[in-house]
């Protein structure tokens, strides 16, 4: 299990969203229970031991990592929108519009999770795959199956990934072989999964590494009774976050408004059912009216921006107006979405977020995003969207130590580091061209999940 550790070198993090600090010669001390207990700046490498003794720590770190000039300690990535069952289908169905892609590719794939062994195999590979890429926190949609969803929670818990786990609610507009029987059954399975996930957490001393999340797939696949039942659960359980797909594509918006003729937009619809709250994680938000943007702000709901799947699934150029959301103060994080896109990497999500923002700027003059802003969305931004910013997202003392050791000098495909590169240049090279080979160590709550242990 975790033990006290110290890291010395350059840390890069965002004290606030949009502000990235590169801090050289910094000493970060992590307690045995996995919290950041001290951060000391301007500590020469030669003085690390002396400084640690001076700090009079209750437990001296048993492992001290000294980072080189081309290495960085950064907060772990937060993936705010991810379908775990889609780990094995990513890349299939290119060009299909969203509802056709669900029918032809996704529902047949997710239906296989009725088999617990299949779920164990795919979920284990999925969680390993995301940890390898530096995702220390992930908000997962499971399939609709209760047993498979509890298996996903068990896998995250045992592998040590911080996760929100949701049984997918869907009682209509899906094939007979992959649909909840009715609203009552869907809600009962949801309650059972919540109990299981809460018990898991309690068994590890209430560390809250794995938490339940309400997961109506989207309004197209939930009838009024189910949405209302989930809204009631949300109200009765103020600790439960909520996730759903929101204004993803024109085909989906048209279908939603046909099913709910009393509403003219999705913001009012989800609000009516008690699902638009400050704990809501709204995936996509690509086609938004000014009214809906204002409503998201007013409700303090968060946006899971998934630019890779938005530009891979067919149906037009879909890209959320992130520059405008940020100007308004709306919480934004990044999501891989997994199945719908070509990549499961948050680094790729950052790059694609830059690209789609450039496109929006060219089309209608909206503010473009820099890769640095996207780094803040991938860390602190995501933590805020998942209602976890009091625990993770940066290296504030008292937060849990969820972190990555990034090495710029390893064999891989990252833009080559040169002698006269400044630290911001080396880090920018990582953000724009690095991959999981550069992410040598991964920690969640102080526990090392990737890399040679020291
Ligand atoms: N809308 C409803 N379900 C899904 C899904 O699995 N992926 C995406 N991208 N959109 C959805
Ligand atoms: Fe999705």
pLDDT digits (tens, 9 = 90+) for 339-353: 889 999 999 999 999
| 90 ligand 1 Cβ < 6 A | no
Q: What is the dihedral of CA 175, 252, 278, 309, to 10 degrees?
A: 90
Residue recorded with tokens 């090392």: 448
Do 288 and 249 meet the contact criterion of CB atoms below 8 Å apart?
A: no
Distance CA 285, CA 247 (A): 5
pLDDT in tens, 356-395: 999 999 999 999 999 999 999 999 999 999 999 999 999 9
Give residue limits of the domains in the chain.
5-75+395-450, 77-386
Distance CA 33, CA 444 (A): 11
Q: Which atom number of ligand 1 is nearest to the Cα of residue 106?
A: 6
| 98 ligand 1 Cβ < 6 A | yes
Residue 118 C-alpha from the chain's centroid: 24
Q: Please check the confidence at residue 205 and state whether its pLDDT lies above 70.
A: no
3-state secondary structure the chain: CCCCEEEEEEEEEEEECCEEEEEEEEEEEECCCCEEEEEECCCCHHHHHHHHHHCCCCCCCCEEEECCCCEEEEECEEEEEEEHHHHHCCCCCCCCEHHHHHHHHHHHHHHHHHCHHHHHHHHHHHHHHHHHCCEEEEEEECCCCHHHHHHHHHHHHHHCCEEEEECEECCCCCCHHHCCCCHHHHHHHHHHHHHHHHHHHHHCCCCCCEEECEEECCHHHCCHHHHHHHHHHHHHCCCCCEEEEECCCHHHHHHHHHHCCCCCCHHHHHHHCCCCCCCEEEEECCCCCHHHHHHHHHHCCEEEECHHHHCCCECCCCCCCHHHHHHHCCEEEECCCHHHCCCCCHHHHHHHHHHHHHHHHHHHCCCCCCHHHHHHHHHHHHHHHCCCCCCCCCCCCCCECCEEEEECCCCCCCCCCCCCCCHHHHHHHHHHHCCHHHEEEEEECCEEEECCCC
Q: Which atom number of ligand 1 is nearest to the Cα of residue 141?
A: 6
| 245 ligand 1 Cβ < 6 A | yes
Residue 209 buriedness (CB in 10 A; 0-12 / 13-18 / 19+): buried
Considering only residues 346 and 453, tell me which one the structure prediction assigns the higher pLDDT: 346
Q: Which atom number of ligand 1 is nearest to the Cα of residue 218?
A: 2
Instruction: Provide the pLDDT for residue 410.
Output: 94
Q: Please check the confidence at residue 203 and state whether its pLDDT lies above 80.
A: no
Using pLDDT thresholds of 50, 70 and 90, give the confidence band for residue 202: confident
Q: What is the mean pLDDT of residues 227-238?
A: 98
Q: Alpha-carbon torsion 171, 172, 176, 181, what sign?
A: positive
Mean residue pLDDT of the chain comes to: 96
| 306 ligand 1 Cβ < 6 A | no
Do 274 and 244 meet the contact criterion of CB atoms below 8 Å apart?
A: no
Residue 28 buriedness (CB in 10 A; 0-12 / 13-18 / 19+): buried
CATH 2.30.40.10 fits 5-75+395-450, yes or no: yes
Using pLDDT thresholds of 50, 70 and 90, give the confidence band for residue 184: very high
Token pair for residue 395? 């290296």
Distance CA 400, CA 443 (A): 10
What are the angstrom distances between the C-alpha of 47 and each of 31, 41, 51, 180? Answer: 20, 12, 6, 61
Instruction: Provide the pLDDT for residue 4.
Output: 94
| 106 ligand 1 Cβ < 6 A | yes
Q: Please check the confidence at residue 3 and state whether its pLDDT lies above 90.
A: no
- Correct CATH for 77-386 of 3.40.190.290, 3.20.20.140, 3.20.20.70, 3.40.50.261: 3.20.20.140
pLDDT in tens, 85-130: 999 999 899 889 999 999 999 999 999 999 999 999 999 999 999 9
pLDDT in tens, 40-52: 999 999 999 999 9
Instruction: Provide the pLDDT for residue 214.
Output: 98
Residue among 79, 81, 84, 98 whose CB has most ligand 1 atoms within 8 A, to mutate: 98
Instruction: Provide the pLDDT for residue 140.
Output: 98
Do 10 and 71 meet the contact criterion of CB atoms below 8 Å apart?
A: yes
Distance CA 219, CA 448 (A): 39
- The predicted model scores a pTM of 0.98
Q: What is the mean pLDDT of residues 16-30?
A: 96
Residue among 84, 93, 99, 102 whose CB has most ligand 1 atoms within 8 A, to mutate: 102
Output the residue whose Cα is nearest ligand 1's atom 7. 340
Token pair for residue 219? 């309004």
Instruction: Provide the pLDDT for residue 206.
Output: 64
Token pair for residue 429? 């090279």
Q: Please, which residues have CB within 8 angstroms of residue 110's CB and are 6 or more apart in sequence? A: 85, 86, 143, 144, 168, 178
Q: Please check the confidence at residue 198 and state whether its pLDDT lies above 90.
A: yes
Distance CA 244, CA 321 (A): 18
**Equal fold, 5-75+395-450 vs 77-386:** no
Ligand showing the shortest atom-to-Cα distance for residue 140: 2
Q: What is the mean pLDDT of residues 398-408?
A: 98
Please give the distance, rounded to the nearest whole angstrom, from the Cα atom of residue 139 to the centre of ligand 1. Answer: 14
Token pair for residue 73? 């300690």
């Amino acid at each position: 299990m975790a033990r006290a550790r110290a890291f010395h070198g350059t840390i890069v993090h965002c004290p606030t969203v949009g502000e990235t600090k590169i801090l050289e010669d910094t000493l970060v001390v992590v307690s045995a229970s996995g919290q950041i207990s001290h951060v000391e700046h301007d500590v020469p490498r030669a003085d690390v031991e002396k400084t640690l003794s001076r700090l009079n720590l209750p437990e001296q770190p048993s492992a001290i990592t000294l980072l080189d000039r081309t290495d960085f300690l950064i907060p772990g990535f937060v993936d705010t929108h991810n379908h775990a069952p889609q780990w094995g289908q990513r890349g299939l169905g290119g060009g299909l519009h969203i509802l056709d892609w669900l029918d032809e590719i996704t529902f047949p794939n997710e239906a296989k999770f009725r088999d617990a062994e299949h779920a164990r195999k795919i979920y284990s590979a999925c969680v390993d795959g995301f940890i390898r890429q530096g995702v220390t926190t992930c908000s997962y949609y499971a399939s609709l199956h209760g047993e498979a969803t509890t298996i996903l929670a068990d896998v995250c818990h045992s592998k040590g990934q911080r996760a929100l786990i949701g049984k997918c609610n869907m009682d209509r507009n899906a094939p007979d072989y992959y649909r909840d029987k009715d609203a009552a059954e869907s809600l009962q399975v949801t309650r059972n999964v919540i109990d299981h996930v809460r018990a898991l957490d309690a068994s590890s001393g209430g560390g809250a590494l794995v938490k339940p999340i309400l997961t109506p797939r989207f309004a197209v696949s939930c009838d009024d009774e189910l949405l209302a039942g989930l809204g009631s659960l949300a109200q009765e359980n103020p600790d439960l976050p909520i996730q759903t797909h929101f204004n993803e594509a024109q085909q989906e918006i048209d279908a939603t408004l046909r099913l709910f003729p009393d509403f003219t937009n999705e913001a009012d619809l989800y609000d009516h059912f008690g699902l638009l709250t400050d704990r809501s994680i709204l995936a996509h938000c690509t086609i938004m009216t000014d009214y809906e943007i204002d409503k998201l702000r007013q409700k303090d709901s968060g946006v899971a921006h998934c630019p890779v799947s938005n530009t891979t699934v067919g149906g037009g150029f879909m890209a959320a107006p992130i520059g405008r959301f940020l100007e308004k103060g709306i919480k934004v994080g990044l999501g891989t979405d997994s199945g719908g896109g070509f990549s499961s990497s948050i680094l790729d999500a950052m790059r694609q977020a830059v690209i789609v923002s450039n496109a929006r700027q060219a089309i209608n003059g909206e503010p473009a995003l820099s890769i640095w802003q996207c780094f803040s969305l991938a860390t602190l931004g995501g933590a805020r969207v998942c209602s976890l910013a009091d625990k993770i997202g940066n290296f504030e003392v008292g937060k849990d130590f969820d972190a990555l050791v990034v090495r710029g000098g390893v064999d891989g495909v990252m833009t080559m580091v040169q002698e006269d590169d400044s630290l911001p240049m080396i880090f920018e090279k990582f953000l724009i061209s690095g991959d999981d080979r550069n992410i040598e160590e991964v920690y969640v709550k102080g526990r090392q999940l990737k890399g040679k242990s020291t």
